[in-house]
Structure 1
Amino acid sequence: QLRQLFGSAVPAFPPKFYLAMTKSMADERRSQLEQYLQNVTLNSNITNSDVFIGFFRKLQQDTFKIQTQRAFLDIYLADGSNITLDIQTSDTAERILQVTSYKMELSRELIKYFSLFFIQDHDDGALSVVKKVAEFELPYVSLQSMKQLHCKLGIRKWYMDPSLDTLLIDCRASMNLLYMQAIQEVKKNWIKPTEGQMQELEFLQKNTNKAKFLEKIREVEFYGYVRLDPCICDYPEGGCSADIYVGNNEINCCIKLPTKQTKAVSFKINRLRSWQVTFFGATKDGEDDALEFRFEYNGSGTWEWIILYTKQAFLLSSCLKKMISEQMMKTTKEGPEM
């Protein structure tokens, strides 16, 4: 039915498993569905259609054998608190986000600046944002399929341009969400304030001056970026590890070379031609999916493929799409004035 409506614009669907799924098969199936999502979301006409939403709802429920029924779902905020929702297991992320925003008294026109994410807490106190939940995805079903990763569902801002903060300051609920997330990112060392900036931020936090705190933190290095977990990369040579920050129209990498030296590299998105995510199955310890993020980059006159091995490959892909989308919107708005 989708192909009848949209023709070749609909990407090929991953094959089904007809036998009882093992954990590795379930992991592979989940990643195949995620890859399909990444491809299909390039066309909003498809993802906004009732036919697609109904199709994908049934697909998720059939794959993980979860029937439509009443359930309770916790949505976590950046300060560790949570909101418990009374939902149906077949509710989409868009619906759940609307209910969450209503409970928080978040203005309806500001919902688009936030999204749901799967978040993973680690024993050492670290935190990972695993991936963004697609609007038509069923968060309850996806959460059950990710039990081995001990994930929870959280609400976070979803834009890559920090200047958009100014649009959310006048609403108490949206300002509180930004403020909680900013404090969390300082505590987790995801952003890098200077000693002077840190003192000023601590003073503003102590005096609960949220608006001024959010204004000041926009000056801090890596504010507004999405921080990924340390990963393995093949640039500038094999066997390197990297700390990755995505934002400000770049993939910023602090690369640790095999010689133990470090090298800072910025991959600008306007020099990036294409990218792809590949699934390799479970890792040797059987805990996480092995994902490869490969992008084609022209840094010095020639195109080359650069590879990052990260379980957050789909999140990285979503961030790049968001940055390009915001860049295009900004260009469109500025166009008539030029």
Structure 2
Amino acid sequence: QDTFQIQTQRASLDVYLADGSNIRLDIQTSDTAERILEVTLCKMGISRELMKYFSFFFFQDHEDGSLSVVKKVAEFELPYVSLQSMKELHCKLGIRKWYMDPSLDTLLMDCRASLNLLYMQAIQEVKKNWVKPTEKQKKELEFLQTNANKVKFLKLIREMQFYGYLRLDPCLCDYPEKGCSADIYVGSNEINCCIKLPTNQTKEVSLKINRLRSWQVTFLGAMKDGEESTLELRLEYNDSGTWQWIIFYTKQ
């Protein structure tokens, strides 16, 4: 059977966890992400009712140790085919939790397998500097990690800035003025931007999701030969009672 004119054949597919380990699956090239995710989570011992809290993402590990989450994989997408089409980007397929409310962690902590996934991802977010613990919190996390106290580790990290947020790669933006760059964190019903102004000053801005009216994405292609393609993301945002378009130029 062909799906989207894809020749169906057997293949191996590696699914990566946040600690760098992977699960190798025997699949059909026409298998959807929804089916492969279900098989993977089932293999890990995660119950069907908890599966909705996880999703596949394509990501890149960079030589400098940073991590780029390229995109969430759509349920109908064919991961094997997508990876083949993105070979030059050196993407991997990984499992991550898929919700922006850290309090939902508590629903997953009674299951050992889902607890392990949360714990691995939390450690990864600390290592990659996605979360912003204080020095005191950092020491407490290190102590809990040394003692493998996963539940207390996850309870503590929920108190920290940007835990559970998705961090995007640094990008360019025209807010509050043209020529700015920004580090962006998405979560808890906000888009948090640490913006570097042309004057080299930094400004932290929180764009509230409930103040967005619409958004547009335009594929711009590669700016230069050999570069990844750029997306123009336009957000129509209510800033102090005035609607305005805010533009980000990102690879994600």
Q: Tell me if TM exceeds 0.5.
A: yes
Query: What does the per-residue CA deviation read over 1:169-195, in whole Å, with 9 as the maximum and x for residues that have no partner?
Result: 000000000000000000000000001
Q: Does 1:247 align with 2:187?
A: yes
Contact 1:148 1:287 in 2 (8 A): no
Instruction: Give the Cα separation in 2 of the matches to 1:120 and 1:210.
Output: 26
Instruction: Give the Cα separation in 2 of the matches to 1:188 and 1:142.
Output: 26
Counterpart position of 2:129 = 189
Instruction: Give the Cα separation in 1 of the matches to 2:23 and 2:49.
Output: 21
Secondary structure at the aligned position of 2:35 is classed as helix
Deviation at 1:286, TM superposition (A): 2.6
Instruction: Give the Cα separation in 2 of the matches to 1:273 and 1:222.
Output: 24
The equivalences for 1:126-137 within 5 A come to 126-137=66-77
Deviation at 1:281, TM superposition (A): 1.4
* Superposition TM-score, scaled by structure 2 size: 0.98
Deviation at 1:290, TM superposition (A): 1.2
Identify the structure with the greater helix proportion: 1
Q: Does 1:301 align with 2:246?
A: no
Counterpart position of 1:257 = 197
Instruction: Give the Cα separation in 2 of the matches to 1:145 and 1:304.
Output: 36
Task: Letter of the 1:242 partner, please give it.
Answer: A
Counterpart position of 1:238 = 178
Contact 1:252 1:264 in 2 (8 A): yes
Task: Letter of the 1:176 partner, please give it.
Answer: N
What residue ranges of structure 2 are gaps of 5+ in the alignment? none
Query: What does the per-residue CA deviation read over 1:173-224, in whole Å, with 9 as the maximum and x for residues that have no partner?
Result: 0000000000000000000000111111111111100001001100011001
Counterpart position of 1:266 = 206
Contact 1:228 1:244 in 2 (8 A): yes
Deviation at 1:299, TM superposition (A): 1.3
Counterpart position of 1:201 = 141
The equivalences for 1:70-219 within 5 A come to 70-219=10-159
Instruction: Give the Cα separation in 1 of the matches to 2:195 and 2:221.
Output: 25
What residue ranges of structure 1 are gaps of 5+ in the alignment? 1-53, 313-338
Instruction: Give the Cα separation in 1 of the matches to 2:84 and 2:24.
Output: 16
Identify the structure with the greater strand proportion: 2
The equivalences for 1:281-296 within 5 A come to 281-296=221-236
Task: Letter of the 2:31 partner, please give it.
Answer: D
Instruction: Give the Cα separation in 2 of the matches to 1:158 and 1:152.
Output: 17
Contact 1:149 1:287 in 2 (8 A): no
Counterpart position of 1:69 = 9
Task: Letter of the 2:236 partner, please give it.
Answer: E
Instruction: Give the Cα separation in 1 of the matches to 2:172 and 2:227.
Output: 17
Instruction: Give the Cα separation in 2 of the matches to 1:250 and 1:118.
Output: 23
Query: What does the per-residue CA deviation read over 1:101-132, in whole Å, with 9 as the maximum and x for residues that have no partner?
Result: 12111111101000000011112111100000
Instruction: Give the Cα separation in 1 of the matches to 2:60 and 2:96.
Output: 14
Runs of 4+ in 1 over 2 A off after TM superposition: none
* Superposition TM-score, scaled by structure 1 size: 0.73
Secondary structure at the aligned position of 1:58 is classed as coil
Task: Letter of the 2:114 partner, please give it.
Answer: S
Count matched residues. Answer: 252
Larger Cα-atom Rg? 1
Instruction: Give the Cα separation in 2 of the matches to 1:278 and 1:74.
Output: 31
Deviation at 1:279, TM superposition (A): 0.3
What's the % identity of the aligned pairs?
81
Secondary structure at the aligned position of 1:230 is classed as strand
Computed over aligned residues only, the root mean square deviation of the Cα atoms, in angstroms, reads: 1.1
Task: Letter of the 1:112 partner, please give it.
Answer: K
Task: Letter of the 1:182 partner, please give it.
Answer: A
Counterpart position of 1:58 = 3
